[in-house]
Amino acid sequence: MQTIIDKNGVKHYMITLNVNGDSYTKVVKGNTLLVNMLRDTLDLTGTKKGCELGNCGSCTVLMDGKPVDSCMVLAVEADEREITTIEGLAQNEELDKLQESFVNNAAVQCGYCTPGMIMSAKALLTSNPHPSEQEVREAIAGNLCRCTGYVNIVKAVLATADKK
């Protein structure tokens, strides 16, 4: 990772991340957060900021396939990693089965927690295609929703699992 020093002596770092299958090389500061890099630099605003302290999960993205709170990850720490955001799920026009299930099971109300919620659920179903209800709830326990009581969300994830 190359370090560049600007005329005020502030260090910047050249990083390369793979986001949703595409490689991006950007220059960031040490204190640039992954969530802000995704939202502000790459215009991927599907990932949301709800609390900025790693409590609500609305900023959840997959880093090398694992769900993490992107508000608590430095962009420099994500150098050379594979990041998947909500925008990376649908293939061209076709929704991922999980996304369809959320729509068809009324699992989306205000939708603000939805991207993070789907990323957590997607990671679960990738590693565990037939989870129990308890396992689903554990996987999304770090994604807070204020609208649904999680009822239809759990239903939507289990419905997707059943279809596979």
Partner 1 sequence: MSDNYAVIGKSVPKMDGRVKVTGQAKYTGDLKFPNMLVGKILTSPHAHARILSIDTSEAERLPGVKAIITHEDVPSLKYGISPARWDENIFCIDKVRFVGDKVAAVAAIDEETVYKALKLIKVEYEVLPAVFDPIEALREGAPQVHDEYPGNINTEIHQNFGDVEKAFAEAYHVRTDQFMGQRSYQSPIEPHSAISFWDGGKLTVYASTQSPHYFQYYIAREFGLKMGDVRVIKTFVGGGFGGKLEPTGLEFAGAALSRITGRPVKMFYDRHEMFAHNRGRHKQIMKITTGVDKDGKILGVHADFVMDGGAYTSLGVASAYYAGAMLPLTYEFDNFKFDMFRAYTNLPACGAQRGHGAPQPRYAFECHLDKVAQDLGIDPIELRLRNARRPNTVTPNEFQVNSCELSACIEKGREISGWNEKKGKLPKGRGMGIAVGSFVSGAGYPIYRTDLPQASAIIKVHEDGSAATLYTGATDIGQGSDTILCQMAAEAMGYHYENMKIVSADTETTPHDFGAYASRQTLMSGAAVKEAGEEVKKQVLELAAVILEKDVADLDCSEGWIFSLSDPEVGKPFGEVAREFFVKKGPLVGRGSYTPPKLGGKFKGAAVGTSPAYSFCSQISEVQIDEETGEIEVKEVWDVHDCGKVINPALLHAQVHGALYMGMGESIWEEVLFDKNGKVANGNLGEYKLPTALDMPKITSALVDSYEPSAPWGVKEVGEGATIPTMGCFANAINDAMGVTVHSLPLTYEKVWRALKEKREQESENKE
Partner 2 sequence: MYLPDFDYYAPESVQEASGLLAQYGPKAKFLAGGTDVLHMMKEGLIAPEVLVSTKNLARLKEIYYETGKGVVIGALATHNNLVNSPVLQESYLSICETAHHMANNQVRNTGTIGGNIVNAVPSADLPPILIALGARVTLVSASGQRTLNLEDFFTGPRKTVIKEDEILTQIIIPDNSFTGSTYHKFGLRRSGALAVVGVAVAVTMEGDVCREARIALGAVAPTPVRAVKAEEMLKDQVITDQLLEEVGRCATSESKPISDIRGSAEYRLDMVRVFTKRMLRKAINEGHI
Start-end of H helices in the chain: 34-36, 97-104, 114-127, 133-140, 151-163
Enumerate binding residues for partner 1 (CB under 8 A): 31, 36, 39, 43-53, 55-56, 58, 85-87, 89-90, 95, 99-100, 102-106, 108-115, 118, 136-138, 140-154
CB 41 within 8 A of CB 98: no
- Which residue among 6, 40, 133, 138 contacts partner 2 (CB under 8 A)? 138
Given partner 2, partner 1, none, residue 4, with its beta carbon under 5 to 8 Å by kind, binds none
Q: If binding is defined by CB under 8 A, does position 87 make contact with partner 2?
A: no
- Which residue among 26, 41, 45, 77 contacts partner 2 (CB under 8 A)? 77
Given partner 2, partner 1, none, residue 30, with its beta carbon under 5 to 8 Å by kind, binds partner 2
Q: If binding is defined by CB under 8 A, does position 146 make contact with partner 2?
A: no
- Which residue among 16, 23, 55, 126 contacts partner 2 (CB under 8 A)? 55
Q: What DSSP character marks residue 140?
A: H
Q: Strands 66-69, 60-63: parallel, antiparallel or unpaired by DSSP? A: antiparallel
Residue 145 CB, nearest approach to partner 1 (Å): 7
In DSSP terms, 23 is beta-bridged to 18
Q: Quote the longest CA-to-CA distance of the chain.
A: 58
Left (φ > 0), alpha (ψ -120 to 50) or beta: where does 31 sit?
alpha
89 CB-near residues (< 8 Å, 6+ apart): 95, 96, 98, 99, 118, 119, 122
Given partner 2, partner 1, none, residue 161, with its beta carbon under 5 to 8 Å by kind, binds none
Residue 16 CB, nearest approach to partner 1 (Å): 23
Q: Distance (Å, rounded) from C-alpha 22 to C-alpha 37?
A: 15
For binding to partner 2 (CB under 8 A), which residues are involved? 1, 10-11, 13, 29-31, 33, 52-55, 57, 60, 63, 66-69, 72-74, 76-77, 79, 120, 138-142
